[in-house]
Structure 1
Amino acid sequence: MTPAARTQAAIDLLDAIVVAAREGGAAADTLISRYFAQRRYAGSKDRRAVRELVYAAIRRLGERPADGRAALLALAASDPALAATFDGSTHGPAPIADEAPAAEGLHPRWLEERLAASGIDAAEQRALIDRAPLDVRLHSDAADLDLPGAEPIAGLPLARRLPAGTDVAALSGRVEVQDAGSQAVTLAAGATPGMTVLDLCAGAGGKSLALAALMGHDGRIIATDVDRARLSRLAPRAAKAGATIIETRLLDPNREADVLAGIQADVVLIDAPCSGTGTWRRNPEARWRLTPARLDRLIATQQHVLALGAAALKPGGALVYIVCSLLDAEGATQVDAFLAAHPGWRAEPPTLPFGRAHHAGTRLTPAHDATDGFFVARLRAPC
């Protein structure tokens, strides 16, 4: 591909990403993979160059642009070499005319304001769209696995930070790709051998697998979720990891209480559906998807799953509430409201290897902890 053709490919992809962000379609990574699967002529250097252009544009634009061309024009405004590729060639974009590039910024203005009100200053906000590192969690039987260039992560014996571009597919069955922050907040459960643990919003089961390792594969983990496709990925992952104590239950939104009936868990872990503001380093286009109305719906869902989790906990048990969000409305405020509505419950400081105290819980941020952003609280039920 010529430089101009690469620029046009980036524009085409950004067009699709903008539409997906507006209409709730596939994530940018998925769209990029599909695009190149249909264009086998593009070599690895072409794919890498186009991908870098796409993500550079996404990270630079806080507000969703009108289209892909406006997004690339914003980059070209400060990059003469990129501007020169708008040359009108056969496979390249039309020359730059009197047209406005998309406005640059960190995040949508309304989100910048809410993040600031939640104590996330400008430097912390900037770090939310830096590139994320590649972290993995070793399976317990692979603790001595030699990984070239891997760095240990303090406080997480099975965590490693790998060099960018490491082929993790070649390590299947020996490691799980999991951000160090996600590994750390799982420790808040305090799970030990013999416990019954309910992973209420398990998804594909990353935290269930980590819990099984913490429990020495002794006890019972009930992993539930309303998303059949995501939950179905847990069983094969558990088999590879030797996590035989995990059972899965699909939650029917119309009869959740029936599915959870009879569970008296020692620990309920709730990795609640949230805005994902703490994961924007990995999915920067997610800033373009979030709206005040969607945030309100997520907050209502979080309140619902907190109530479900509390009902499935035995007296004196611990409820661990986690969101990969840095908005207080989804974290600290939710926990404050829960405690106010449940007399006798109390917050306990989670035992984590890093993070800072924030209201009744602990907050991890990319700038301070070099992890994804999280809020986690550990709540003790009355006996």
Structure 2
Amino acid sequence: MRTAARVQAAIEILDAIAASAREGGAPADSLFSTAMRERRYAGSKDRRAIRAYVYDAIRAVRSAPVSGRAAMLALADGDPELAALFDGSAYGPAPIAPDEPRAETGLAAQALIDLFDSLVGEDEYGAMLDRASLDLRANRIKAAAADLAAHFPEGEAIAGVPDGWRLPPETAAAQHAAYADGAFEVQDAASQYASAALDAAPGQAIVDLCAGGGGKTLAIASLTGDGSDILACDTNRARLQQLPPRAERAGATRIETRLLNPGQELDMLAEWRGKADRVFVDAPCSGSGTWRRSPELRWRLTPARLERHLADQAKLLAIGADLVAPGGKLLYAVCSIIAREGRAQVDEFLKQNPGWTADGGYLPGGIGRAAGHGFLLTPAHDGCDGFFLARLTRAC
């Protein structure tokens, strides 16, 4: 493909991504893959170049643009070489007209920025859209962090994560034979901090209430040396079905999965009520802490969608608390830097549940900042995805 044709392809893909963001449809990665399947004539170099154009535009533009062309023009205004490709050549974009609309650039819409936790300063904004490193977690059931160092000598240890190893962005670690053997998982440091903060131990009964594909479930199994019974739950069948084969590969033999019907969670967990030593509530959220990996999430969040997340979080906190045994602990986590999803949710929970207290001291030194009754992690401060964590203990 000619370079101009690559730009036009990126514009068309951005059209689909912007429309999907407004409608709450498929994510950008999925749409990009579909677009490339439809363009079988595009070679590997073409695909890499088109992807770079698409994601550079997504990172630059603060909210869903009126068109993919408007997004690319916003990039072209600061890149004369890119602007020159709008030349009207065959399969390329039409020449730029002086009065054409440009998408607005920046971190996010101001109304969204205003929702950030007060700990997040303007000096942190740039790191929120930087390309993320590739973090690995050694699976203690089969391997150790020293093995990761041997397999990937170009990496480095992650502060405060004994099983973690950090590699440059887009390293093809999952193609290594050790991955197929279950020696490690790809997992951001923030998720590793969260899994460790649960304070799980062998012999405990543990519930992962929002397990999804099981990344943190497997981390908990690793931390306990496959020594605890873990119930992994979710309402999304497709995501939960990913866990059993992952657990088999990891050698985690004591994980049970349970698909829950929305609105019937407590009934379907009746035998666990008041019995769990540890409950992990990794609640659905805005994903505002993961913009480094999924920058189009800035284009997706609307007031209505945020309100739905807030309602789900409060409901899941209540369900999780009902499962915890006296003296047991619940870890609430969201990959968000929005205060209403983090500290405000825990403040309200503790107000409504006087028999619970907030723990402290469960993160490594220097990691996270106190945010109400929990801790906030951010890319700039902690070198990982943005997360809010709060560990709560039920009175005996």
**Letter aligned with residue 174 of structure 1:** A
Q: CA deviation at 1:372?
A: 0.0
Counterpart among 147, 157, 170 of residue 152 in structure 2: 147
Counterpart among 280, 298, 310 of residue 309 in structure 2: 298
**Letter aligned with residue 123 of structure 1:** D
Please say if residues 198 and 268 of structure 1, whose CA atoms lie closer than 8 Å, have aligned partners that are also in contact: yes
Counterpart among 271, 274, 281 of residue 285 in structure 2: 274
Q: Give the SS at the match of 1:293.
A: helix
Whole-Å Cα distance in 1 between the matches of residues 172 and 346 of structure 2?
39
Q: Which residue matches 1:64?
A: 64
**1:160 partnered with 2:165:** yes
Q: Give the SS at the match of 1:48.
A: helix
Counterpart among 195, 214, 222 of residue 213 in structure 1: 222
Q: Which residue matches 1:379?
A: 392
Please say if residues 350 and 361 of structure 1, whose CA atoms lie closer than 8 Å, have aligned partners that are also in contact: no
**Letter aligned with residue 220 of structure 2:** L
Q: Which residue matches 2:258?
A: 249
Whole-Å Cα distance in 2 between the matches of residues 55 and 181 of structure 1?
23
**Letter aligned with residue 89 of structure 1:** S
Residue by residue over 1:337-383, the C-alpha shift from the partner in whole angstroms, topping out at 9 and shown as x without a partner, is 00010112110015122212211111110000110000100111011
Please say if residues 350 and 376 of structure 1, whose CA atoms lie closer than 8 Å, have aligned partners that are also in contact: no
Unaligned runs of 5+ in 2: none
Mapping of residues 164-183 of structure 1, within 5 Å = 164-170=169-175, 171-172=179-180, 173-183=182-192
Q: Which residue matches 2:334?
A: 323
Whole-Å Cα distance in 1 between the matches of residues 340 and 384 of structure 2?
21
Q: CA deviation at 1:106?
A: 1.1
Q: Give the SS at the match of 1:101.
A: coil
Number of equivalent positions: 382
Q: Which residue matches 1:100?
A: 101
4+ long deviations beyond 4 Å = none
Moved more, 66-75 or 45-54: 45-54
Whole-Å Cα distance in 2 between the matches of residues 165 and 257 of structure 1?
40
Please say if residues 73 and 83 of structure 2, whose CA atoms lie closer than 8 Å, have aligned partners that are also in contact: yes
Whole-Å Cα distance in 1 between the matches of residues 361 and 232 of structure 2?
22
Residue by residue over 1:244-277, the C-alpha shift from the partner in whole angstroms, topping out at 9 and shown as x without a partner, is 1110011111321121112110011100011000
Q: CA deviation at 1:44?
A: 1.9
Q: Which residue matches 1:131?
A: 131
Q: Which residue matches 1:26?
A: 26
Q: CA deviation at 1:176?
A: 1.1
**Letter aligned with residue 244 of structure 1:** T
Q: Which residue matches 1:76?
A: 76
RMSD: 1.2
Q: Give the SS at the match of 2:125.
A: helix
Please say if residues 132 and 169 of structure 2, whose CA atoms lie closer than 8 Å, have aligned partners that are also in contact: no
Whole-Å Cα distance in 2 between the matches of residues 54 and 26 of structure 1?
16
Q: Give the SS at the match of 2:114.
A: helix
Moved more, 19-28 or 231-240: 19-28
Counterpart among 201, 210, 215 of residue 210 in structure 2: 201
Q: Give the SS at the match of 2:165.
A: strand
Please say if residues 316 and 380 of structure 1, whose CA atoms lie closer than 8 Å, have aligned partners that are also in contact: yes
Q: Which residue matches 2:382?
A: 369
Please say if residues 200 and 270 of structure 1, whose CA atoms lie closer than 8 Å, have aligned partners that are also in contact: yes
Q: CA deviation at 1:174?
A: 2.5
Identity %: 56
Using the size of structure 2 for normalisation, the TM-score is 0.94
Q: Which residue matches 2:47?
A: 47
Unaligned runs of 5+ in 1: none
CA separation of 1:346 and 1:160: change in aligned 2, threshold 3 A? same
**Letter aligned with residue 101 of structure 2:** A
Q: CA deviation at 1:158?
A: 1.6
Whole-Å Cα distance in 2 between the matches of residues 332 and 164 of structure 1?
31
Q: Which residue matches 1:112?
A: 113
Q: Give the SS at the match of 2:331.
A: strand
Counterpart among 314, 318, 324 of residue 325 in structure 2: 314
Q: Give the SS at the match of 2:119.
A: coil
Q: Which residue matches 1:192?
A: 201
